[in-house]
Structure 1
Amino acid sequence: MASKQSTVDYILEQTATAGMVSARKMFGEYAVYCDGKVVALVCDDQLFVKPTAAGKAFIGDSETGCPYPGAKPYLLISGDQWDDSEYLTRLISMTAAALPLPKTKTKKKKT
């Protein structure tokens, strides 16, 4: 089941002050970016945040889940926590800070 655009829009609205947040549709689901880094996935209208030491320490004992078959476990953030903008913003911001910048892709030279 694909996620609804309204779900993604709400999450982006709630985390707008975390940095430069955006989302990109991928295979019917969404990747959430903060400052150019993928920090979360929205799959089946559920929010999965990439696990980092800072994020785990911030939220404490949390549920984990796999956003899609074969994926590594992510932090599963329940829908009732989405309404707390400060909480969600801090989690997304600290997750982005803990992740490395994405590697730049180099173009292959034609021979």
Structure 2
Amino acid sequence: MGTTADTIDRLLDTLAPLPLTSRKMFGEYALYLDGKVVALVCDDLLYLKPTPGATAALPDCPTGYPYPGAKLHLLVTDALDDPDRVISALKAVAADLPAPKPKKPKT
């Protein structure tokens, strides 16, 4: 089915206090914070990486698989009614993840 650009625009608007960016990948999207992939948007649903900080910020959040073969993620549905909780969870994910590896220079 794929995620629509309207869904991404709505999510980025809802979570506007964060400097999130998005990148389209295989018809779906990845959300970046501080250069780190913190969430995926697949079939118009928001999936957060299940880091310890995100799980603590959203303790009752259901889980799901964003695509076949993926690891289990936090499936953010009702929590979007309280964007501040989701923003806290996204900040926690970014804090829990290691810094991105520097890109190798082209030769």
Give the alignment's TM-score, normalised by structure 1: 0.88
Q: Distance in 1 between matches of 2:57 and 2:87?
A: 12
Partner of residue 97, structure 1: 95
Greater alpha carbon shift after TM alignment, 68-77 vs 9-18: 9-18
- Assess if the C-alpha contact under 8 Å between 2:57 and 2:85 holds in 1: no
Partner of residue 81, structure 2: 83
Shift of 1:108: 6.0
Runs ≥4 residues deviating over 4 A:
none
Partner of residue 26, structure 1: 25
- Assess if the C-alpha contact under 8 Å between 2:61 and 2:79 holds in 1: no
Q: Distance in 1 between matches of 2:50 and 2:100?
A: 16
* Equivalent pairs, count: 107
Percent identical pairs in the alignment equals 49
Give the alignment's TM-score, normalised by structure 2: 0.91
Q: Distance in 2 between matches of 1:27 and 1:96?
A: 23
Task: Specify every segment of 5 or more residues in structure 2 that has no aligned partner in the other structure, as ranges.
Answer: none
Partner of residue 60, structure 1: 59
- Assess if the C-alpha contact under 8 Å between 1:40 and 1:49 holds in 2: yes
Higher radius of gyration, 1 or 2: 1
Partner of residue 13, structure 1: 13
Once superposed, what is the RMSD of the aligned Cα atoms?
1.4
